[in-house]
């Protein structure tokens, strides 16, 4: 007998703040058995008031993944819905970011997601139902200067999601991407490399980027609940779409990028936003 929505178990990674926190809280309020997972267990303590089970889990640490999943299966149940939300940012010139820093980002944003997904597929396949929802970004289909590692990871997740959607469909498992635009999150503040360390060739852009980040933080008025509602829709839709995008400005940006802007003009706009000169002939 198939489970009702209230009997299904949803695991949300990266749930100690921002988008992940909102998703976990909202799903629990909708009657779904919800597990919030993150490295900072103490930060998730208030989620228990919403009936959320919390577990310490670092997606980039195999031992932590094994321990966390064992805890969930023993205390809550098998995972029907996986929301891969854990992610980090790394904003700075590609040349100046060490390979070690870049690999750390990929360990969380890409390989951690792969590990969690591989471990949750077998049960979903066996029961012939599941949802794998990968929180990417509008940066998974577009790009901006000084964000190469982040775009690398999110473009990778977009491609992975399309492939998995095709191969898992026969088993009743739907794979979809959730694409946030600018919403309130700690990821920006934590992801900017030390601008003081940027060398002279990048300094003009460094000052511009510093001001841009401050402006983004001021204007990030969108509540991450808009993303939580998208996740719930992707869970409850009979035939989930390939991707879901919010808030409204993100939908507009993707529409312009796909249907209106030429590649050259889009590159020019991105460069100008980062304080870079752009010559399409070079």
Active site residue 123: no
- Judge contact between 155 and 110, C-beta under 8 A: no
Lookup: tokens for 16: 């100690």
Contacts of residue 248, defined as CB under 8 A and 6 or more positions apart, other chains included, come to: none
Q: Shortest CA distance to 212 belongs to which of 168, 146, 277?
A: 146
Of residues 26, 146, 150, 244, which has the active-site annotation?
150
Residues with a known catalytic role: 150
């Amino acid at each position: 007998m198939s489970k009702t929505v209230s009997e299904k178990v949803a695991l949300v990674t990266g749930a100690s703040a921002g988008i992940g926190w909102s998703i976990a809280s909202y799903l629990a309020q909708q009657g779904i058995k919800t597990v919030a997972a993150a490295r900072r267990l103490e930060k998730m303590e208030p989620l228990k008031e919403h009936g959320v089970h919390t577990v310490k889990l670092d997606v980039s640490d195999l031992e932590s993944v094994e321990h966390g999943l064992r805890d969930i299966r023993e205390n809550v149940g098998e995972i029907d819905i996986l929301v891969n939300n854990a992610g980090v940012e790394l904003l700075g010139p590609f040349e100046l970011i060490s390979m070690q820093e870049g690999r750390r980002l990929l360990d969380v944003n890409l390989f951690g997601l792969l590990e969690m997904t591989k471990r949750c597929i077998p049960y979903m396949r066996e029961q012939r139902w599941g949802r794998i929802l990968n929180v990417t970004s509008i940066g998974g289909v577009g790009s901006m200067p000084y964000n190469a590692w982040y775009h690398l990871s999110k473009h990778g997740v977009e491609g992975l999601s399309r492939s998995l959607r095709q191969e898992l469909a026969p088993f009743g498992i739907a794979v979809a991407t959730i694409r946030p635009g600018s919403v309130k999150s700690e990821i920006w503040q934590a992801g900017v490399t030390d601008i003081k360390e940027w060398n002279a060739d990048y300094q003009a852009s460094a000052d511009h980027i510093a001001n841009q980040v401050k402006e983004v933080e001021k204007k990030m008025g969108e509540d991450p609940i808009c993303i939580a509602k998208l996740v719930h829709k992707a869970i409850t839709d009979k035939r989930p779409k390939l991707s879901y995008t919010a808030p409204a400005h993100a939908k507009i940006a993707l529409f312009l990028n796909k249907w209106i802007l030429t590649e050259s003009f889009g590159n020019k706009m991105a460069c100008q936003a980062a304080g870079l000169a752009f010559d399409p002939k070079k």
